[in-house]
A and B are shown apart, each in its own frame.
Chain A
Amino acid sequence: MTLSSLLRIAAAAQLAIALLNLFLVRLLDWKADLDRLPLLLREVFHVHCWFISITLGIFGVMTLRFADAMAASSNETCRWLTAGIGIFWAIRTVLQATYYSSGHWRGQPVRTAMHVALLATYGGLALVYALSAFGKGS
């Protein structure tokens, strides 16, 4: 599989995560918890969720549009952009592994599987973008 194809898959994955993120509160059944919060905090929480989706949407669309140039490292801007996205996902992977309390998934097979799947996805995204930024190009 070529780096260009991997980048297209990474773009599709990010667009899927962006979409899922919009339904996060419903998926995790947090509506009752959020309704008890002060209005301002609730609004900031929702705005943050939307902005994560916008960010991932931007990463996804830019990657789809410039997948070949990113894979070929044909231009310095592409290399820096892929490095930026790669660092973003590397930090997200570290946060997923170290920041969240293990109590959220320990002893719950479905949640453990989700945690591992997310960790692998985030790590995979970091790896693909790192290869594109710091590899020799195809």
Chain B
Amino acid sequence: MNTPGSSRVVLLRAVAVIQIAMVAVNLSLVHVLGLNDGLTRWPAAVRELFVVHLLCISMMVLTISVLTLRFVREIANQAHAICRWLAGAAALFWLLRGWLQLFYSVSTQWPINQLHRVFMVIDGCLALVYGLAAWGAGERT
């Protein structure tokens, strides 16, 4: 039978895969946005911190993805409080990311304007799926 839990499993697996793809995009962000020249003109300390932050954010997203794939059923079924908190944290993370993408980054600045819209939609979808897993009616065990 197709239960809310089982459809959530599929959605959560899909968002985990999307997040892994986003990590790959994030790691090549400077190249994708053609910012290499700008970056080389930065003071060394600022440039190094920028790279470290990029790596740390990628690690965080990868951690969420791996945990989602490993505990997909527990998260979908809200099996433990920590699963709900994990999904809630991921939802908050992506909600804030979408909000910043929408309101902070000036869209006209984006070399590829469509990429900006795609990121915004993906961020919203990720927040929605994790939000449902955290706060939607579940099948708690």
Report the minimum CB–CB distance from B105 to chain A (whole Å).
Answer: 5
Q: How many A-B residue pairs have CB under 8 A?
A: 124
Residues of chain B lying within 8 A (CB to CB) of residue A1: none
Q: A55-B56, A80-B70 are in contact. Are A33 and B46 (CB under 8 A)?
A: yes
B4-12, B14-22, B89-97: which one contacts chain A? B89-97
Main secondary structure of the interface of A (DSSP, over half): helix
Bound form: Cα–Cα A80–B65 in Å: 12
Q: Which size class do B's interface residues fall under?
A: 35 or more
Is A47 within 8 A of B105, CB to CB? yes
Is A91 within 8 A of B59, CB to CB? yes
Residues of chain A lying within 8 A (CB to CB) of residue B104: 43, 46-47
Q: Which size class do A's interface residues fall under?
A: 35 or more
Is B82 within 8 A of A66, CB to CB? yes
The 4 tightest CB contacts between A and B, nearest first, are A84-B63, A48-B53, A40-B109, A55-B60
Question: B residues bordering A, Cβ < 8 Å?
Answer: 29, 33, 35, 38-39, 41-46, 48-57, 59-60, 63, 66-67, 70-71, 74, 80-83, 85-86, 89, 92-93, 96-97, 100, 104-106, 109-111
